[in-house]
C-alpha cells in the first residue's frame, strides 16, 4: 500500500473517530479502548461498556436504544476504517 494513502487513511480514520465521539458525546479515549477490545476479542461491545463511554448518560429508559445505535456505529467504523483496508 502506498505510503501517501496510508497517511491519508490514518487522517480519515482519526477524523471519523473524533466525529463519532462528538456526535454521540463519547469519551474518545474510552471509545478507542472499546474499539481495541472489540478488535482483540472479536466480540461486540457490551451495553455497559457503551453506556460507560457516554459523557451525559441517558435515562434508563433510553439506554437500550442509545447503546444499540452507538454499537452499530462502532461496528460500522471498524468495518470501514479497519477491516475495509486490510481485506
| Domain contains 4 | no
Output the pTM of the full model: 0.88
| Domain contains 29 | yes
| Domain contains 12 | no
Count how many domains the chain has.
1
Q: Which of 1-15, 25-39, 73-87 has the lowest mean pLDDT?
A: 73-87
| Domain contains 77 | yes
Cβ proximity of 47 and 67 under 8 Å: yes
Per residue in 31-71, pLDDT (tens digit) is 999 999 999 999 999 999 999 999 999 999 999 999 999 99
| Domain contains 2 | no
| Domain contains 25 | yes
| Domain contains 11 | no
Amino acid at each position: 500500500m502506498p505510503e501517501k494513502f496510508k497517511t491519508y487513511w490514518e487522517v480519515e480514520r482519526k477524523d471519523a473517530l473524533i466525529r463519532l465521539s462528538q456526535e454521540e458525546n463519547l469519551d474518545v479515549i474510552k471509545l478507542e479502548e472499546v474499539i481495541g477490545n472489540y478488535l482483540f476479542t472479536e466480540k461486540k461491545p457490551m451495553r455497559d461498556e457503551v453506556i460507560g463511554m457516554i459523557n451525559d448518560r441517558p435515562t434508563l429508559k433510553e439506554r437500550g436504544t442509545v447503546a444499540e445505535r452507538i454499537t452499530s456505529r462502532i461496528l460500522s467504523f471498524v468495518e470501514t476504517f479497519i477491516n475495509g483496508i486490510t481485506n
